A and B are shown apart, each in its own frame.
Chain A
Amino acid sequence: MNPTFLHSFLLVTVLVCITTCTDNNSEPDNSFTTLVWSDEFNSGDSPSSENWIFDIGTGEEIFGQPGWGNNELQYYTNRSENIRVRNGMLEITAREESFQNSGYTSAKILTRGLEEWTFGRFEASIQLPFGQGIWPAFWLLGDDSDGMEIWPQIGEIDIMEYRGQQPTEVHGTIHGPGYSAGEAITDKYVLSSGRFDTEFHVFAIEWGPDFIDFYVDDVLYNTITPEDVGSDEWVFNDNSFYIILNVAVGGWFAGFPNDNTPFPQTMLVDYVRVYEMDN
């Protein structure tokens, strides 16, 4: 999730990526077999407070700008209308309604301060929502050492980002110092059949020292290494990262909803699992 700038430059980095990614699609040597943390969303009515905290509001409290700095339109709440656990699923629902001066409501949960990791396999099984201007994400953000460090120095790994109007495409991206926002390192995965908004798909990274592999349904579609960031600093070998799940409405990445965007829109999460890297 780009907290500040211009995804209109995304195309540039895509092209950069295409030239480099193809070299790195070799089968990784590392394995991630030990489950160390998971939420299967099989009990309770709301996300477990042992696993998750809520981000309430527009994102201003973290990044100092409303709309997460992306011109997003939603107000995040912890109401059951926006987030609940039901039928073994986490449901995050974006709604069109006036709430706290915003035109839309949704929800965002984080493991920040509860569980944070360095390296591992992070995976989630998700059925995505649909519609112009809907922007769900499953992502990791680096710890800011109680405010001692700031984005993008802390590092960001977007395991899955998606535009509701492109229901067969997802994007995997990293942000760090010198390669953030419009210059982030990114690639996309396009389904050859089916759609992300009609069925569950598993989105994952396998992350170890000096590499991050991006998967959709166990298909490796991108590997990012320090080579890809060139002379810029690789910030993914030391810091600990926490998981974020959210559905944004509007913003530079997905554009804005229009009259044809059906509301409400719900992201269904069957599970989130973290495996540690085998030694």
Chain B
Amino acid sequence: MKMNMMKNTTRIVFTAFASLIIFAGCERSVSGLSEPTLTNNPEVFVDGFSAGLEYFPYTDGFAKLDAFQVDSDVTFDGAGSSMRIDVPNPEDPTGVYAGALFRDINGGRDLSGYDALTFYARGSKAARINQIGFGQNDQNSNYQVKVDSLRIATYWQKITIPIPNPSKLTAESGLFWFAENPEDGDGYSFWIDELKFEKLGNIAQPRPVINGGVDQQIVSSVNLTETITGFSYTSNTIVELPDGTTTSRDVTVELAPSYFDFVSSNSSVATVNQFGVITMVGEGMATITATVDGVQAEGSLDVTVGAAFQTAPVPTVDPDSVISIFSDAYTNVPVDYYNGFFIPDGQTTEGGTGFDGGPPGADIVVDGDGIINYTNLNFVGIGTFLDVSPIDASDMTHLHVDINVQEAVDAGDFIRIQLLNGVQTSNETSGVVTIDSNTLMENEWVSLDIPLSQFGLVDRSQLGLIFFISDETVSNIYVDNIYYYTDGSDIVSGPPTVDINPAPTPTADSDSVISIFSDTYTNVNVDYFNGFFEFSTTQGGTGYAGGPPGADFKIDSDTSNGVINYTSLNFVGIGTFQDVSPIDVTNMTHIHADIYINEALDGGDYIDLRLVNAVEQGNENNGNTVRVPTADLTQGEWTSIDIPLVNFGLDAYDEVGLIFFISDGTISDIYVDNVYYYDSGEVIEALPAPTLPITFDDSEVSYAATTFNGASYEVIANPQVSGSNNTASNVGSITNIGAQFEGIYFNLESNLDFNDGTTITMDVYSTTSVPVLLKIEDGGSNFVEVAQTHGGSGWEELTFNFSSSAAFPRVTIFIDGPGTTSGTFYIDNIIQQ
């Protein structure tokens, strides 16, 4: 453990020096003087406790409280006693290090007439005392001085710790302190004797340093503060050697900022106080430098101050209605941390760590307003479950948080807020609310008041973590005013609700239904309502704590009615093949789904459905994609979809394991309800697959095609009655997204046999010159193919001459297969000559 200097101390009074305390009373000022004159007694511990000195071991729970003893056996001069410090072994149950301060309890001493603290030290073995010095006490340590890693030997040596600027020490009660770990993993003892302040008169060559000796340029804003660090002070002391000669030694101490006199070159731009805190007061430039007792310190800060920083709106909610996590407007509850640094979980987020002397968690303070600045954000948690009580927000209605994004907000950026209740208990539950890019603003505060009901937590009496999750979409944010509050409305306990109309209540007879997701029927068991497949961006379908599987919300007006809310939809699968039985829909005729479009629709938007039979088995069968086009959908309304199962073209329907909803990002936010198979009672014959010629005009043939690598396909009326296809009839429409080797294929009802003719003609419509590849294949490794170039003049008849006698069941068409031409093309009249 790297110890910290803990200022929590406990007072341990030694009976051995109780009489000295009484004696100390004699040194107090004569009555009648208005100001008591502090003693200038230089002695700290010469042959025993000096008047007023007391021992305060650190009470951080790690320091050995009885590490200090008065020792009359081992002394420097054979007289009186010395201070013995017993550094414990690391596994010592009474403490793992020795650390204490020795304070004058009579109001301090005037040490301004001395220039050093000196003492003799020796160890039971050669060692380095981690930290040792003076100027530390419980009230303030404004004049703390520290030597790091002080070497001691096994014989007595005189140690000199210079006072950087003695004129500051007119009332110092921190006379001595130290903190020492075991040495190389072992405890040991060291002794201090003849501990006193002295006027040596030969300490010189002061070399004060601020900011680590660096001349640094920083950019800031009006009302912001910056705190100077990196203080040190090197001076030269005279060392008398045993042979009577002398030498000198540089001693470097770390010292508190108040030893310095700070100067701003332009106090209308920046001011600096005795603690090295720079406050930006106006736009412009200023240089901050410092001196110690008139000696210029190495290092400086050049601040360039810009316009005032905008703080978050000051909260106005009545403090009685608030449980505050992080706000200067309220008294905050105790918090374990504002950044849990879950590094093993891949967290990259910095910030929320505050700074010395600042409010907890506040990385920036503007005009007294502390602000968290999370950077490199992917996710970060604020914890209230380790050493503090979890938060009971049962009586609260909202979570408030102010967020200011410090970068451009792009489409797709989000910050997801997750609340965890009962962290690390068997009842741990969580709920999320996603703040999308439409809400977030660059360089502006956005005040969020999120109804707690949206998090869907059944119990929020033990809230232990708040997560901010951006998955790196947003990396740099300011956060302020995190608090729960109640707006006085009834507490909505239970599920999150959404204010949309319910989907039409299904009317199919429950005996003829196999239901996947519906409150009208008894649903079969499913593995999941969102498989979160690779490349899927889709959120939702994860349900809420205590709710029915998959239901992200209840309908506001009908809280018995659960709905799925898929967001960031590109594709999502509902699985019934892993831990549950695949569904046998052989006796069903249709699949039904109600879809609510929660956004504006564009012309090319669609929802595709696809079924997969025998998932992950040798005979896995994907079937056809069945499209619900834009024209069939309406923003802000439910669309009931009923698709004959035969349209999916599966080889079998006895083990359906996946239902896919696919939008390819054209539609991103939908609600889904009432997903079920049913038997309409009709006998629906599957339309036969085509054979050549393919004209797209035979109503007794299914012209369903399978698309791949991005292409999409539909049958439409010929929109360009001209050229080689000068008839009003149906045509096939292929839309390329511009990916390589995208295209479509038809599985034929029977093999195309080249013995019946080796030439195939096809009308193709294109307004750009593209190669068209016609490939006749078995779907495996056997194929023949011919490419022809389209001239780009509209409808053209292309002729493909195959020198083959093979017979294959599949016709595959690539428009600009090797290239990346995007756009819509039409095909018609695929004829074997």
Selected from B201, B244, B245, B248, the residue in CB contact (under 8 A) with A167 is B248
Smallest CB separation, A118 vs chain B (Å): 34
A130 touching B238, Cβ below 8 Å: no
B781, CB-defined interface residue at 8 Å: no
**Chain B residue contacts of A194, Cβ below 8 A:** 201-202
**Chain A residue contacts of B246, Cβ below 8 A:** 166, 168-169, 190
Contacts between the two chains (Cβ within 8 Å), count: 39
B238 touching A168, Cβ below 8 Å: yes
User: CB-defined interface of B742-778 with A at 8 Å, one 1/0 digit per residue?
Assistant: 0000000000000000000000000000000000000
B202 touching A130, Cβ below 8 Å: no
User: CB-defined interface of A128-139 with B at 8 Å, one 1/0 digit per residue?
Assistant: 001100000000
Smallest CB separation, B637 vs chain A (Å): 78
**Chain A residue contacts of B205, Cβ below 8 A:** 130-131, 167, 197, 262
A216–B201 alpha-carbon span in the complex (Å): 18
Q: Which B residues, 180 to 214, have Cβ-Cβ distances below 8 Å to chain A?
A: 201-202, 204-205, 207
A136–B244 alpha-carbon span in the complex (Å): 23
B247, CB-defined interface residue at 8 Å: yes
Contact status of A260 and B250, CB under 8 A, knowing A167-B238, A169-B245, A195-B238: yes
**Chain B residue contacts of A169, Cβ below 8 A:** 245-246
A262–B202 alpha-carbon span in the complex (Å): 18
**Chain B residue contacts of A262, Cβ below 8 A:** 205, 207
A50–B550 alpha-carbon span in the complex (Å): 104
**Chain A residue contacts of B238, Cβ below 8 A:** 167-168, 195
Interface size on B, residues (CB 8 A): 13
A193 touching B201, Cβ below 8 Å: yes
User: CB-defined interface of A163-179 with B at 8 Å, one 1/0 digit per residue?
Assistant: 00111110000000000
Contact status of A197 and B204, CB under 8 A, knowing A167-B236, A167-B238, A168-B238: yes
A198, CB-defined interface residue at 8 Å: yes
User: CB-defined interface of A222-259 with B at 8 Å, one 1/0 digit per residue?
Assistant: 00000000000000000000000000000000000000
Q: Which A residues, 192 to 212, have Cβ-Cβ distances below 8 Å to chain B?
A: 193-195, 197-198
Smallest CB separation, B319 vs chain A (Å): 57
Measured CB to CB, the nearest residue on chain B to A131 is B205
B250 touching A195, Cβ below 8 Å: no
If over half of A's interface residues share one DSSP class (helix, strand or loop), that class is named, otherwise mixed; here it is loop
Measured CB to CB, the nearest residue on chain B to A129 is B205
A125–B244 alpha-carbon span in the complex (Å): 26
Measured CB to CB, the nearest residue on chain A to B200 is A193
**Chain B residue contacts of A197, Cβ below 8 A:** 204-205
**Chain A residue contacts of B250, Cβ below 8 A:** 260
Smallest CB separation, A188 vs chain B (Å): 8
A73–B202 alpha-carbon span in the complex (Å): 29
A130 touching B236, Cβ below 8 Å: yes
A130–B236 alpha-carbon span in the complex (Å): 9
A260–B234 alpha-carbon span in the complex (Å): 10
Selected from A131, A168, A260, the residue in CB contact (under 8 A) with B202 is A168
A194–B199 alpha-carbon span in the complex (Å): 11
A262–B208 alpha-carbon span in the complex (Å): 12
Q: Which B residues, 151 to 204, have Cβ-Cβ distances below 8 Å to chain A?
A: 201-202, 204
**Chain A residue contacts of B244, Cβ below 8 A:** 190
Measured CB to CB, the nearest residue on chain A to B203 is A195
B247 touching A195, Cβ below 8 Å: no
A198–B245 alpha-carbon span in the complex (Å): 20
A130 touching B207, Cβ below 8 Å: no
User: CB-defined interface of B233-249 with A at 8 Å, one 1/0 digit per residue?
Assistant: 00010100000111110
B247 touching A165, Cβ below 8 Å: yes
Q: Which B residues, 214 to 272, have Cβ-Cβ distances below 8 Å to chain A?
A: 236, 238, 244-248, 250
**Chain A residue contacts of B236, Cβ below 8 A:** 130, 167
A97–B238 alpha-carbon span in the complex (Å): 29
A165–B201 alpha-carbon span in the complex (Å): 17
A167 touching B204, Cβ below 8 Å: yes
A193–B703 alpha-carbon span in the complex (Å): 109
B248 touching A165, Cβ below 8 Å: yes
User: CB-defined interface of B583-617 with A at 8 Å, one 1/0 digit per residue?
Assistant: 00000000000000000000000000000000000
**Chain A residue contacts of B201, Cβ below 8 A:** 193-194
**Chain A residue contacts of B245, Cβ below 8 A:** 166, 169, 190
A193 touching B202, Cβ below 8 Å: yes
Measured CB to CB, the nearest residue on chain A to B207 is A262
Measured CB to CB, the nearest residue on chain B to A260 is B250
**Chain B residue contacts of A195, Cβ below 8 A:** 202, 204, 238
A165–B250 alpha-carbon span in the complex (Å): 10
User: CB-defined interface of A150-172 with B at 8 Å, one 1/0 digit per residue?
Assistant: 00000000000000011111000
Smallest CB separation, A117 vs chain B (Å): 33
A194–B247 alpha-carbon span in the complex (Å): 14
Smallest CB separation, A140 vs chain B (Å): 26
A168–B202 alpha-carbon span in the complex (Å): 8
A167–B235 alpha-carbon span in the complex (Å): 13
B204 touching A130, Cβ below 8 Å: yes
A142–B238 alpha-carbon span in the complex (Å): 35
Smallest CB separation, B162 vs chain A (Å): 13
**Chain B residue contacts of A130, Cβ below 8 A:** 204-205, 236
B247 touching A166, Cβ below 8 Å: yes
Measured CB to CB, the nearest residue on chain A to B243 is A11
**Chain B residue contacts of A168, Cβ below 8 A:** 202, 238, 246, 248
Measured CB to CB, the nearest residue on chain A to B201 is A193
Smallest CB separation, A27 vs chain B (Å): 25
Smallest CB separation, B54 vs chain A (Å): 34
**Chain B residue contacts of A191, Cβ below 8 A:** 202
A114–B722 alpha-carbon span in the complex (Å): 117
A169–B247 alpha-carbon span in the complex (Å): 8
A225–B201 alpha-carbon span in the complex (Å): 35
**Chain B residue contacts of A260, Cβ below 8 A:** 250
A167–B250 alpha-carbon span in the complex (Å): 12
A195–B244 alpha-carbon span in the complex (Å): 16
Measured CB to CB, the nearest residue on chain A to B199 is A193
Measured CB to CB, the nearest residue on chain B to A190 is B246
A166–B247 alpha-carbon span in the complex (Å): 5
A168–B205 alpha-carbon span in the complex (Å): 13
A262–B252 alpha-carbon span in the complex (Å): 14
A167–B237 alpha-carbon span in the complex (Å): 9
Smallest CB separation, A268 vs chain B (Å): 14
User: CB-defined interface of B476-507 with A at 8 Å, one 1/0 digit per residue?
Assistant: 00000000000000000000000000000000
**Chain B residue contacts of A166, Cβ below 8 A:** 245-248
Smallest CB separation, B234 vs chain A (Å): 8
A194–B205 alpha-carbon span in the complex (Å): 12
**Chain A residue contacts of B202, Cβ below 8 A:** 167-168, 191, 193-195
Smallest CB separation, B247 vs chain A (Å): 6
Smallest CB separation, B100 vs chain A (Å): 32
A14–B255 alpha-carbon span in the complex (Å): 41
A143–B730 alpha-carbon span in the complex (Å): 122
A190–B248 alpha-carbon span in the complex (Å): 13
**Chain B residue contacts of A198, Cβ below 8 A:** 204
Measured CB to CB, the nearest residue on chain A to B246 is A168
Smallest CB separation, A263 vs chain B (Å): 12
Smallest CB separation, B74 vs chain A (Å): 31
Measured CB to CB, the nearest residue on chain B to A199 is B204
Smallest CB separation, B411 vs chain A (Å): 55
**Chain B residue contacts of A193, Cβ below 8 A:** 201-202
A193–B238 alpha-carbon span in the complex (Å): 10
User: CB-defined interface of B650-663 with A at 8 Å, one 1/0 digit per residue?
Assistant: 00000000000000
Binding site for A on B (CB under 8 A): 201-202, 204-205, 207, 236, 238, 244-248, 250
Q: A167-B202, A190-B246, A262-B207 are in contact. List 5 more A-B contacts (CB 8 A).
A: A167-B248, A168-B202, A168-B238, A168-B248, A195-B204
Nearest first, the 4 closest Cβ-Cβ pairs linking A and B are A198-B204, A130-B205, A193-B201, A195-B202
Pairs across A and B, CB under 8 Å, 28 listed: A130-B204, A130-B236, A131-B205, A165-B247, A166-B245, A166-B247, A166-B248, A167-B202, A167-B204, A167-B205, A167-B236, A167-B248, A168-B238, A168-B246, A168-B248, A169-B246, A190-B244, A190-B245, A191-B202, A193-B201, A194-B201, A194-B202, A195-B204, A195-B238, A197-B204, A197-B205, A198-B204, A262-B205
